[in-house]
Amino acid sequence: TAPVTPAGLDPDVADNFAFAFDIDGVLVRGGKPIPEAIEAMKVLNGENPFGIKVPYIFLTNGGGKFETERCRDLSRQLEIDVSPGQFICGHTPMREFANKYGTVLVVGGEGEKCREVAESYGFRDVITPGDIIKANAATAPFRALTESEIKNSRDLLARGGKMSDIVVEAVFVFADSRDWASDLQIMLDIAQSKGGRLETRSENFDEGPPIYFSHNDVLWSAAHEHVRLGMGALRKIVETVFEDVSGGRKLKTHAFGKPQVSTFEFATRLLQQWRATQHGLAESEPPETVYFVGDTPESDIKGTNAMNEKSKNEWYSILVKTGVYQAGTEPKHKPRKLVDTVLDAVNHGIRREM
């Protein structure tokens, strides 16, 4: 449907409530749409007994691609037009750090993609684990770079100088690691370094740069019948092994994404803009109720409930049974409503409102 101008209020739009969706385990699993998700989008787009359109956004902890690419994938999977104006992924909030740091290490994702995403966010000097291995193959004894990795990696020593001239000011794990062993080694090397200086060792192990993960999901729902290990598992390993190699010092890393309340606040701002540009609603006011539909109690439900506590508007958590949460078990964080699929979630929210 064509967007309405901010001046013209869309007459059939729900102005007091909206939906926000988690993606993996709710709408998509292993790259394929969950069938009820396609139907749920139709209901939101007006195919409901009231003929109303309900504004919605997407809030995933996943990432590893440009937001525009993720939106193209989702558009194809859900048979709708998804705009970057209604989409937040795990690394989206990292863009706000682009001016804070000079040289950063970006970890995770396919090929060079996350370097490109980080540069598009405005990060000025992005190095990757591949660059470090290319400069010193002894960094990761069991990792041989492929020809294309060698070709695409930067030459860190091109202008002369030594590895220890390079200072990593922060580490950002943008997406899931494709090689946990070498990424772990390199992150731990940097965490133990003298202020982020490559190939140095701190005496006290207390001067490494900050390490940011784009989310903290230990588990997520992909194509396999059982849940898979996610970035939160790598985060735990980094912190635990750091303690072992540093004589018991603690490493405190940071995580963006759900369940952080700041991520839900970011989502509120996006939803307000989206309601204004797409539906002609006033940008100054968020909807009275946001229904958040997720599959992971530890991130989706915990975060929505925490946001509900903090916000003056209502955030209503709905847990589905198509992903991480296993039917019949007691969810660690209790949703306001437990349903089978995202279609039931959408119908529940609309019925509660109308």
Residue 328's φ and ψ, nearest 5 degrees, are 95, -15
CA distances 272 to 2, 39, 61, 221, 324, Å, are: 19, 25, 20, 29, 29
242 lies in the site for ligand G3P, by CB under 6 A: no
60 lies in the site for ligand G3P, by CB under 6 A: yes
Q: Return residues touching Mg ion (CB under 5 A).
A: 22, 24-25, 295-296
Write out the two tokens for 129. Answer: 């684990």
Q: What share of the chain is helix, strand, coil (3-state, %, to 5)?
A: 35, 15, 50
Position among 61, 128, 260, 268 found at the interface with ligand G3P (CB under 6 A): 61
Position among 129, 230, 287, 335 found at the interface with ligand G3P (CB under 6 A): 230
Could you give the string, one character per residue 168-207, with x where binding to ligand G3P holds by CB under 6 A and - elsewhere?
--------x-------------------------------
141 and 165 Cβ atoms separated by less than 8 Å: no
Could you give the string, one character per residue 17-36, with x where binding to ligand G3P holds by CB under 6 A and - elsewhere?
-----xxxx-----------
Instruction: Give strand pairing partners of 281.
Output: none
Using the contact rule CB under 6 A, the part of the chain among 2-10, 58-66, 186-194, 280-288 near ligand G3P is 58-66
220 lies in the site for ligand G3P, by CB under 6 A: yes
Task: Give the residue among 334, 322, 352, 244 at the shortest CA–CA distance from 297.
Answer: 334
Nearer to ligand G3P, 138 or 327 (CB): 327
Nearer to ligand G3P, 168 or 301 (CB): 301
**What's the rounded Cα separation, in Å, for the pair 236 and 238?**
6
**What's the rounded Cα separation, in Å, for the pair 173 and 171?**
7
**Chain contacts with ligand G3P (rule: CB under 6 A):** 22-25, 60-62, 176, 215, 217, 220, 230, 296
